[in-house]
Structure 1
Amino acid sequence: MSFCKPVGVLLFLTMLFLSGMAPALEVKVMNYNIRYGSADDGANSWTNRSALLIAQLKEQAPQVIGMQEALRFQINEIRKALPYYGEVGIGRDGGEEGEYSCILYDTRRFTLTDSGTFWLSETPEKRSQDWDSACVRICTWALLKDKETGEAFYHFNTHLDYRSAKARLNGVHLIAKRIAERKTNAPFVLTGDFNAAENSPPVKWLKGEAEEQPPVVMVDTFRVLHPDEKTVGTFNRFKGDKSGAKIDYILTSEETTVLDAGIDFSMPDGRCISDHYPVTATIRFKTVAPPFTSTKRCSSISLPAA
């Protein structure tokens, strides 16, 4: 029985495709502005809420976390309590100085293969501030590889400016450009406190809803599963408010499957854990089989006779 018969060819190609297809990569992602720990927040100061935040992370068990406003001592405390998390990032003022937009990743599952931080400015490779921003702003990224499957993905994480609309829009332009220019075609996720509502120019632009199209169109993982949800306020001001705008995001490419997504409105004993609620998403990245490169002729392969 020759492989060149239609049934044999179909069977051969199906087996070849399946053998080259890596298992789908599923990841639980969290975005969390944890409120900078040096703030004079009285009863809501870091010392009064750090244990609650650590317990929340244990319960949610995200495999990667994009954090905003994290200071060095806060990261140290979190990692001491949860030592299986590795860390990527630097302070926005350089080295360990200033707020981090760090990425924490579960080292039991992932290996860090590449990473970096760039500034949201006209000179992104050095500490700098542009576009009338109130603060220095950065984006940290990591390329993480699954230890079991070998599949990899990029995680970009940022905190956009609260004052300057120009800085927010130019910031996402730069981030999208960097995502489009990433070194490999591995899929990506973008997390961040954007300080911008869902109908704002930077968010609409990233989602391809503006006149000018981004180099990579993204979807809001929360809205994929909850398109009509009204209670989405992620900035609670330590008041437990849920009625405001959603300004915290987990975005990814249109090809990615969203399995679960939500906003964690937890308030243990009626207390806010941070002045932002964390957002979560479990996503399945699209896996593409490697191309078939064999040069053997079909006629040279045969099956045993039935």
Structure 2
Amino acid sequence: MAENQETTPLLNEGTSTGTSTKPASKKTRIILGIFAIIGILAITGWTVYRITEKTPLVNEPLKIRLYTHNIRFDNHHTDVNEEKWSKRRQLVTSSIDFNTDSGSANVVCLQEVLHNQLEDILYNLNEGNTTDDWTYFGVGRTDGKTEGEYAPILFKRAEWNVVDNSTSWLSESPEVPSRGWDAALERIVSMVTLESKANPFVRLNFFNTHFDHKGKKARRESARLIVDRMENYNGYPSFLCGDFNTKPEDEPYQILKSHGFKDSRTLIDQLHSYGHKATFTGFDNLHEDTAIIDYVWGPYFAKNGNQSPSILESEDINYYDLDLHEEYKVMIKQYAVLHSRFHGFYMSDHRPVSADYYIYKD
């Protein structure tokens, strides 16, 4: 601040020997006093603004909510009991809107999103395009533009700055639109690095994906490819969301787990876990599926923030990157598998999953 302050020369500084200096009048002294007060207030106000806007509060966590949902593509040949997108879209959007209004910084990961569905969701979230609060990153998996399903990552402009983003195809040629191994369809992982506006020192990576529903090898190799991306993307903590078409006992899940990534579902304690167990339901409410295939994965050093300090400290021996662990602390606080059937119909054949984390940056 000092370089922006001007030095005011002394008024009526003595000239020659024997010449007396006339004292400033009362009116002049009042004017000078007013200017001095204005200057002090301006400097103080600017300092407060800089602290408030740019400097994070010491020891205050950044509270984030991750919300992931396979919304079911806009199917023109609907299955039994499946409603058309035109009927489902309001529920899908309302669920996002309600569950991202907690005061946390929000990141929404969606799967099976066609371009028209993405436009509908953003239109509703942005109050009929009267605001531009919500934006996204993602591309269609067929052409890398707008064709095919997206795995978009949505967030609020007021909460995040975009640092970096990219898309990789889950295949032997990840840089171009392609179908990998024994997959039935093209599959992608969307990646974005976001910087918190509330705490600009906090930067986080978010990955969103949808594994193939048929190719067993494709799911296994997709897990390995994403592990490689997450471990080498940059030095910031990474979260992974999506529909993995993979149960906890399956190999792709075990690959992610063996590399240290934490399944929010198993990291959280029972008291702070809410809702259903299964994430996939189908559309038959009398014979709902019971599969767990949708996940929110946290970084390897994520901990249960509801546990005692002694338990948390004992887990430090599992860390293999102490520099990153000492710089960031990641604590899960809540986890939920939310309801998806309202007014007699399903908004999707998957349930939304949410996880709340506290991020501390030393």
Task: Please say if 1:53 is aligned against 2:92.
Answer: yes
Q: Is the CA contact (8 Å cut-off) linking 2:276 and 2:338 kept in structure 1?
A: no
Give the direction of change, closer, same or farther, for the CA distance of 1:179–1:21 in structure 2 (3 Å limit): farther
Task: Determine the C-alpha separation between the residues in 1 that align with 2:94 and 2:341.
Answer: 12
Q: Is the CA contact (8 Å cut-off) linking 1:44 and 1:238 kept in structure 2?
A: no
Structure number with greater CO (CA < 8 Å, separation at least 6) is 1
Q: Is the CA contact (8 Å cut-off) linking 2:281 and 2:291 kept in structure 1?
A: no
2:323 is aligned to none
Q: Is the CA contact (8 Å cut-off) linking 1:187 and 1:285 kept in structure 2?
A: no
Task: Please say if 1:89 is aligned against 2:134.
Answer: no
Cα deviation for residue 227 of structure 1 reads: 6.6
Q: How does 1:91-130 map to 2 (within 5 A)?
A: 91-94=140-143, 95-130=145-180
Give the direction of change, closer, same or farther, for the CA distance of 1:118–1:156 in structure 2 (3 Å limit): same
1:172 is aligned to 223
Cα deviation for residue 196 of structure 1 reads: 0.6
Give the direction of change, closer, same or farther, for the CA distance of 1:278–1:139 in structure 2 (3 Å limit): same
Gaps of 5+ in 1: 1-18, 209-213, 290-306
What SS class does the counterpart of residue 69 from structure 2 fall into? strand
Superposed CA deviations along residues 6-43 of structure 1, whole A, max 9, x for unmatched, are: xxxxxxxxxxxxx9966422210011101111342275
Cα deviation for residue 236 of structure 1 reads: 1.2
Pick aligned residue for 2:115 from 63, 72, 75: 72
Task: Determine the C-alpha separation between the residues in 2 that align with 1:232 and 1:243.
Answer: 11
Give the direction of change, closer, same or farther, for the CA distance of 1:22–1:175 in structure 2 (3 Å limit): farther
Give the direction of change, closer, same or farther, for the CA distance of 1:79–1:244 in structure 2 (3 Å limit): same
Pick aligned residue for 2:282 from 222, 227, 237: 237
Pick aligned residue for 2:337 from 238, 253, 263: 263
Higher Cα Rg, which structure: 2
What SS class does the counterpart of residue 157 from structure 1 fall into? strand
Q: Is the CA contact (8 Å cut-off) linking 2:59 and 2:360 kept in structure 1?
A: no
% identical equivalent positions: 29
Task: Determine the C-alpha separation between the residues in 2 that align with 1:21 and 1:176.
Answer: 33
Task: Please say if 1:194 is aligned against 2:233.
Answer: no
Q: How does 1:1-306 map to 2 (within 5 A)?
A: 23-41=60-78, 44-61=83-100, 63-83=106-126, 84-94=133-143, 95-150=145-200, 151-183=202-234, 185-208=235-258, 214=259, 217-226=260-269, 232-240=277-285, 243-256=289-302, 257-287=331-361, 289=362
Task: Determine the C-alpha separation between the residues in 2 that align with 1:197 and 1:267.
Answer: 22
Cα deviation for residue 55 of structure 1 reads: 1.4
Higher helix share goes to which structure? 2
Task: Determine the C-alpha separation between the residues in 2 that align with 1:148 and 1:253.
Answer: 21
Q: Is the CA contact (8 Å cut-off) linking 1:27 and 1:284 kept in structure 2?
A: yes
1:15 is aligned to none
What SS class does the counterpart of residue 346 from structure 2 fall into? coil
What SS class does the counterpart of residue 97 from structure 1 fall into? coil
Using structure 2 for the length normalisation, give the TM-score: 0.68
Q: Is the CA contact (8 Å cut-off) linking 1:232 and 1:242 kept in structure 2?
A: no
Q: Is the CA contact (8 Å cut-off) linking 1:233 and 1:242 kept in structure 2?
A: no
Using structure 1 for the length normalisation, give the TM-score: 0.80
Cα deviation for residue 153 of structure 1 reads: 0.4
Q: Is the CA contact (8 Å cut-off) linking 2:340 and 2:348 kept in structure 1?
A: no
Task: Determine the C-alpha separation between the residues in 2 that align with 1:93 and 1:24.
Answer: 39
1:299 is aligned to none
Q: Is the CA contact (8 Å cut-off) linking 1:231 and 1:242 kept in structure 2?
A: no
Q: Is the CA contact (8 Å cut-off) linking 1:221 and 1:261 kept in structure 2?
A: yes
Give the direction of change, closer, same or farther, for the CA distance of 1:242–1:186 in structure 2 (3 Å limit): farther
Cα deviation for residue 270 of structure 1 reads: 2.8
Give the direction of change, closer, same or farther, for the CA distance of 1:227–1:195 in structure 2 (3 Å limit): farther
Q: Is the CA contact (8 Å cut-off) linking 2:206 and 2:239 kept in structure 1?
A: yes
Cα deviation for residue 126 of structure 1 reads: 0.6
